[in-house]
Structure 1
Amino acid sequence: MDGMLPQTGAPFMPQSRHAGQMQHTLRQPISSVGTGLHTGARITLRLSPAPENTGIVFRRDDSDLPPLPARYDTVVDTRLSTVLAHDPQAGAAGRIATVEHLMAALAGCGIDNVFIDVSGPEIPVFDGSAAEFVFLIECAGITAQAAARREIYINRTVRVEDGDAYAELSPTLEPGLLIDISIDFPAAAIGQQRYAARLESSCFHQHLSTARTFVLQPEIEHLHSIGLAQGGSLDNAIVVNGDQVLNPTGLRHPEEFVRHKVLDAIGDLHLAGGAINGCFRGHKSGHTLNNRLLRKLFSDQANWSTTPSTPPARQPQIKAA
């Protein structure tokens, strides 16, 4: 790589994924029960093997909702979580919310095809990270399939903005997905943080999968008033008040906040319908900008291809936002 990554606390590991790698699914089904972060409901989750070229498909076993493919164009809401539905006007019975942590775990474990059955309108939050989803996937086992994985190569830079926040995808010389995110929160316990890593299985497991979602304490009352965060607790989210982290056990990582933003981006980008080869940069980005970015990327065929294009003259430099 031409240029150096910033010091982030995580090693810049080589990408194990390469063009032509086979698709993967689970070896056997596996189930678990947890609580919905926003509904507070008890929810059963079941992951099952799926045939080649199925993709990631969600199914509600408590409603008549048709199978729902996990794609950027089935995202209908991005307030505080990524929500999927066939119809943007669908109520709770027609939606599946908070899919991003499970999607990140599937991406980090290299899963292309899986059926996900859920007994409620959102995915269980578990501990607020992707770690327990990774545990379920590893317990079920992973098996290779005969079909080649669909690769998506970024041909030219695509960018979306909202004030001083932005998200962009640009071409790279190396295969795989590089993510570089910076955040800036007024709460002193968070402040300014930046993290860059390449999506690679061991790096994801060790440095990203355990990073938990977080919330500012002054926002909790408002979230409750609009019917959200009903299942939130210190067991499944980091709660911050000014310069204090209120969780008795503290943080799992010095930069757990920005690591979780990287985790979210990995999950949101796995809705592309294939393995992205490119560099994602974001500053103060979140689910909304991540989804807008994928929609803009796929709005013009010149932005992407399924085979490598002529590489750029130089590898994009990783610079602070």
Structure 2
Amino acid sequence: EMPIMDGSSLPFIQMLDRAGRRRQDQPRRFIEILDKIEVVEGDKRATLTPASQFEVAFEISFASAAIGRQRVDLVMDDQAFRDELADCRTFGFLHEVEALRAMGLARGGSMENAVVIEGDRILNPEGLRRPDEFVRHKALDAIGDLFVLGAPILGRFEGVLAGHGINNALVRALMAAPHAWRYRAFVEELAEAV
């Protein structure tokens, strides 16, 4: 398992920036969504639909006043990923962390690598990086879950109360429906390493 660091993707982005980029010999390949694919489990839903670009929308709702109901809807490209999602940390409730530790898990878990909530309050002394950091982290999670497909998506992802499990079920449903997607290549300008 990858180190969690601060629970966001920002440390990884910073390392990749230090390594730099270089032009590849082949055009970049995308997975173009051609038809709607949806997985519903009770009140949870994850959907992929056709779109001319990659879009991600997510909605969460928690009883805790620290989170409440949050929604984000973004057109996603490299810069939007950096500006809108990369710094959003994972989160959990104190009672969940304590239960995991009692099972011998999450031994490295702390407020250094997650936003911790107890009841209606955030325990991290520095607070949140964004007022809607929770839903933005869920969108970040979904992008990572989709990337197991091996190529970026050209389409719209919508998650309602979704998590890793339903996102994984969506990936499996997409792969089981070859009529609903195709590979598409674009010649894309990549920055040369500095």
Global fold match (TM > 0.5): yes
Count matched residues. 185
Q: Counterpart of 1:274?
A: 151
What pairs with 1:123-138 in structure 2 (closer than 5 Å)? 123-138=2-17
**How far is the alpha carbon of 1:171 from its aligned partner?**
0.8
2:28 to 142, 149, 170: 149
**How far is the alpha carbon of 1:204 from its aligned partner?**
1.1
What pairs with 1:220-259 in structure 2 (closer than 5 Å)? 220-259=97-136
SS of 2:26's partner is strand
Deviation string 1:111-170 (CA, Å, 9 cap, x unpaired) is xxxxxxxxxxx2111111111000000000011201011111111100011110010101
Query: C-alpha separation between the residues in 1 aligned to 2:91 and 2:174?
Result: 29
Asked if the contact 2:10–2:87 (Cα under 8 Å) also holds between the matched residues in 1, the reply is: yes
Q: Counterpart of 2:38?
A: 159
**How far is the alpha carbon of 1:218 from its aligned partner?**
1.6
User: Is 1:195 equivalent to 2:72 in the alignment?
Assistant: yes
SS of 1:144's partner is coil
SS of 2:58's partner is strand
Query: C-alpha separation between the residues in 2 aligned to 1:157 and 1:224?
Result: 40
Structure with higher RCO (Cα < 8 A, 6+ apart): 2
Question: AA paired with 2:24?
Answer: Q
Query: C-alpha separation between the residues in 2 aligned to 1:262 and 1:218?
Result: 24
Deviation string 1:204-236 (CA, Å, 9 cap, x unpaired) is 112210000000112122111223211111111
What pairs with 1:1-321 in structure 2 (closer than 5 Å)? 122-172=1-51, 174=52, 176-307=53-184
**How far is the alpha carbon of 1:187 from its aligned partner?**
1.3
Query: C-alpha separation between the residues in 2 aligned to 1:239 and 1:284?
Result: 19
Query: C-alpha separation between the residues in 2 aligned to 1:131 and 1:185?
Result: 25
Asked if the contact 2:97–2:109 (Cα under 8 Å) also holds between the matched residues in 1, the reply is: no
> So what's the TM-score if we normalise by structure 1?
0.56
SS of 1:146's partner is coil
Percent of residue pairs bearing the same amino acid type: 43
SS of 1:281's partner is strand
